[in-house]
Amino acid sequence: MPTARPTIADVAQRAGVSKGLVSFALNDRPGVSPQTRERILEAARELGWQPNLRARALSVDRAFALGLVIMRDPEIITGDPFYPSFIAGVERELASAGQALVLSVVPDEAAELAAYRKLVTDRRVDGVFVTDLRHDDARIALAAELGVPAVTLGHPEAPSPFPAVSMDDRAGIAAAVDHLAGLGHRRIAHVAGPDRMLHGSRRRRAFEEAMAAAGLPAGMVVETEFRAVDGARATRDLLARPDRPTAIVYANDPMAIAGLGIAQRAGLRVPHDLSITGFDGSDVGEHLFPSLSTVATDAVSWGAVAARVLLRSIAGEEPGDTDLPPARFVPRESTAPVTEPTDRTVP
Amino acid sequence: MPTARPTIADVAQRAGVSKGLVSFALNDRPGVSPQTRERILEAARELGWQPNLRARALSVDRAFALGLVIMRDPEIITGDPFYPSFIAGVERELASAGQALVLSVVPDEAAELAAYRKLVTDRRVDGVFVTDLRHDDARIALAAELGVPAVTLGHPEAPSPFPAVSMDDRAGIAAAVDHLAGLGHRRIAHVAGPDRMLHGSRRRRAFEEAMAAAGLPAGMVVETEFRAVDGARATRDLLARPDRPTAIVYANDPMAIAGLGIAQRAGLRVPHDLSITGFDGSDVGEHLFPSLSTVATDAVSWGAVAARVLLRSIAGEEPGDTDLPPARFVPRESTAPVTEPTDRTVP
DNA sequence: CTGAAAGCGCTTACAG
DNA sequence: CTGAAAGCGCTTACAG
């Protein structure tokens, strides 16, 4: 049990004023004479008074907190660096603004919607982040129905009443394809994220467009989940094809790292026999041999900006959409010129 | 703006009873006749009444939330799988208990202490998790001073008033060393986490004890941070030594993965020239070539149990300490018998 | 500039 | 079994 903490009433008594005046003084509102204000502040200091956010929350009908709901299978951690970085960026803004982050991790879509709803009806948060957008994303309508401010990462497909903070990932994919094309690759494949996810299908489309723009034949595309295990399977399938690709563009780093493992396991030398690119710039990819060429996204900034935008929405402003600097391709060792075309198939 | 939501007063009016009785009925407390209770519940349902947690929090002096503070450099994400899994486990318990998780991510120790303090004095949480214990960990005393229930992951060194939920990681390290010794390795090194962290120094001690128990000469130990980049540097140093090890036991997976990269880059074949083991069982390690032998810890269960224990503490019970099943060694491809001893040094 | 009062939406003794 | 009232710790009109 914490010992009973002083309340505003104790401060008022000590300063010899009313509770109301204490509140005014503490919140720097006009209408308090300098001397009285000083006396009140002094009393609060002496008593070690700390505002009780719960009481404040009830009075002003604000939670002073933001909600983030993450959907993922708890048993399968892909080592995806996005959320840790994103959250770190969010926190950087929140701490100084006196806000907190309420985090929900849920296993599936039904639980996800329920989590958003509960966060809001419980009055736990004043606004929510909507990440990992999907086609026909039910969360937009839900947030609108609940009347809660929200910010989306990227633009949803349907019209949305919420500001979007976007980072163009297509430029990064295009740069990867161009880089590979420049190295002489023609049979380039893409291991894509699930089509139901906007960034899955958007990166895929970017890949297809970049291939066309480079004058290359339509590349092979394997759609799968964003997990390492799926990247491995997709790679195995691609390498088993008679027209096996000489380069593979992966939609994220865990898939690419697993793909690298599969290729090496099959006896291919990366990058000489097969070039590989990832996406999202995981820390570990930099230390592999060969180090992973990837598309770097600044998830920390994304989190910080999204938090700022959400806070402004909550404050009643209408922030409008924000475009972050596009993701950029970071060539490392896993991409190289095609050596002589080989017809060797993989067992 | 959400439209004004019905309050308990609206329900009372509709049911024709007092607010107090509504509260009793809604909280399933005795002293309400079945018919009245039914009438009240009916009214609440018709009105779509939802409890306002803010008001409840103020009344009962509870936040219905738990706090987790994570310290890490936002720019350096190691792909450490521990926290995502741990949090997923925590959430599994919280959702059903009507509790929420408030997360703080901070860059350094000063900010960490400030974050705990703020979480508690703001009355945002009813209890806190203390993870990544250090020597002379100031957080124990702080939590005690703040009078907030806490649960520690592992046993702090100083006497602690809080229940500990522990997972013996020494058994896993010992198993790794035994495995390597059984394969004929004698020059085994350990890339350790920082000595200031309990699990850093504990794993190191476990390594040293296991070496002695196996009748091997004291192994080389390099102490460093838990990041991939540090694992890489430590490995480079070890491999440059004239008496370079034939096996390296790493204190976590990101370090081991980076070490694998360094070894391969130096022209060593893993596991033939160098065996490698990790710790924590990251998803991606399984898909490398060679796949990473590691020590698997069940972070999801750890989170779930810690949450349960903390909830019981908050409820006024005295849970006592809990020991989880020990971490276990998972041999994969990165460990193999020593081939002929080689004196080849690495450039 | 200052005070006294009502209110936020709940819970909880205290009486009947 | 039920009601009326006070209280949690703040904020905020409303009067003076």
Q: Kindly report, residue by residue over A283-336, the tens digit of the pLDDT.
A: 899 999 999 999 999 999 999 999 999 999 999 999 999 999 999 999 999 999
**Chain B contact for A103, CB < 8 A?**
yes
Alpha-carbon distance A216 to B52, whole Å?
59
Would you say residue B342 has pLDDT above 90?
no
The pLDDT confidence band at residue B1, using thresholds 50, 70 and 90, is very low
Within 10 Å of residue B171's Cβ, how many Cβ atoms?
Answer: 17
Query: Quick one: pLDDT at residue B77?
Result: 64
Interface of B with A in 154-173 (CB under 8 A): none
Query: Quick one: pLDDT at residue B345?
Result: 47
Query: Quick one: pLDDT at residue B340?
Result: 59
Look at A116-130, A179-193, A330-344, B9-23 and tell me which has the smallest mean pLDDT: A330-344
Taking the mean position of all CA atoms in its chain, how far away is CA B134? 14
Statement to judge: residues B125 and B222 lie in one domain = no
Q: Which of B231, B226, B243, B236 is nearest to B265 (CA)?
A: B236
Statement to judge: residues A192 and A280 lie in one domain = yes
Q: Mean of the pLDDT values across residues A71-89?
A: 81
* A345 located within any domain: no
% of chain B with per-residue pLDDT over 90: 77
Beta-strand pair A164-167/A322-324: parallel
Statement to judge: residues B289 and B309 lie in one domain = no
Q: Which of A89, A137, A78, A129 is nearest to A279 (CA)?
A: A78
* B214 located within any domain: yes
Q: Mean of the pLDDT values across residues B125-132?
A: 97
Cβ contact (<8 Å) for A79 and B83?
no
DSSP A266-302: TTPPTTTT-EEE-SS--TGGGGSSSPPBEEE--HHHH
* B239 located within any domain: yes
**Three-state DSSP class for residue A222:** strand
* B336 located within any domain: no
* B207 located within any domain: yes
Query: Quick one: pLDDT at residue A252?
Result: 93
Which CATH number belongs to the domain containing residue A114 in this structure?
A: 3.40.50.2300
Statement to judge: residues A99 and A46 lie in one domain = no
Statement to judge: residues A187 and A280 lie in one domain = yes
Statement to judge: residues A124 and A39 lie in one domain = no
* A187 located within any domain: yes
The single-letter code of the amino acid at A297 is T
Statement to judge: residues B176 and B117 lie in one domain = no
Query: Quick one: pLDDT at residue A75?
Result: 64
Mean pLDDT of chain A: 92
Cβ contact (<8 Å) for B65 and A289?
no
How many domains does chain A divide into? 3
How would you write chain B as a 3-class SS string? CCCCCCCHHHHHHHHCCCHHHHHHHHCCCCCCCHHHHHHHHHHHHHHCCCCCHHHHHHHHCCCCEEEEEEECCCCCCCCCCHHHHHHHHHHHHHHHHCCEEEEEEECCHHHHHHHHHHHHHCCCCCEEEECCCECCCHHHHHHHHHCCCEEEECCCCCCCCCCEEEECCHHHHHHHHHHHHHCCCCCEEEEECCCCEHHHHHHHHHHHHHHHHCCCCCCEEEECCCCHHHHHHHHHHHHHCCCCCCEEEECCHHHHHHHHHHHHHCCCCCCCCCEEECCCCCCHHHHCCCCCEEEECCHHHHHHHHHHHHHHHHCCCCCCCEEECCCEEECCCCCCCCCCCCCCCCC
Nearest nucleic acid nucleotide to A33, CA to C1' distance? C1
Q: Mean of the pLDDT values across residues A73-86?
A: 77
Would you say residue B218 has pLDDT above 90?
yes
Statement to judge: residues B212 and B277 lie in one domain = yes
Query: Quick one: pLDDT at residue B76?
Result: 65
Would you say residue A347 has pLDDT above 60?
no
Cβ contact (<8 Å) for A283 and B228?
yes
Statement to judge: residues A106 and A28 lie in one domain = no
* A199 located within any domain: yes
Statement to judge: residues B184 and B289 lie in one domain = yes
Q: Mean of the pLDDT values across residues B285-305?
A: 95
Q: Which residue has the tokens 């100084």?
A: A96
CB-strand contact B51/C, under 7 Å = yes
Alpha-carbon distance B144 to B162, whole Å?
9
Structural domain span for residue B269: 170-296
Q: Least CA distance to B50: which residue of chain A?
A: A121
DSSP A116-159: HHHHHHTT--SEEEE-S-BTT-HHHHHHHHHT--EEEES--SS-
* A284 located within any domain: yes
Per-residue pLDDT of B78-90, as tens digits, reads: 667 889 999 999 9
The single-letter code of the amino acid at A290 is P
Given A74, A102, A264, which is nearest B289 (Cβ)?
A264
Query: Quick one: pLDDT at residue A76?
Result: 65
Query: Quick one: pLDDT at residue A34?
Result: 81
B246 contact partners, CB below 8 Å, separation of at least 6: B185, B186, B187, B188, B273, B274, B275, B338, B341
Per-residue pLDDT of B241-292, as tens digits, reads: 999 999 999 999 999 999 999 999 999 999 999 999 999 878 899 999 999 9
Taking the mean position of all CA atoms in its chain, how far away is CA A12? 45
Statement to judge: residues B206 and B237 lie in one domain = yes
**Three-state DSSP class for residue A108:** coil
Which CATH number belongs to the domain containing residue A45 in this structure?
A: 1.10.260.40
Statement to judge: residues B47 and B92 lie in one domain = no
Alpha-carbon distance A20 to A294, whole Å?
58
Given B65, B75, B265, which is nearest A289 (Cβ)?
B265
Q: Which of B223, B287, B232 is nearest to B256 (CA)?
A: B232
Beta-strand pair B220-223/B188-192: parallel
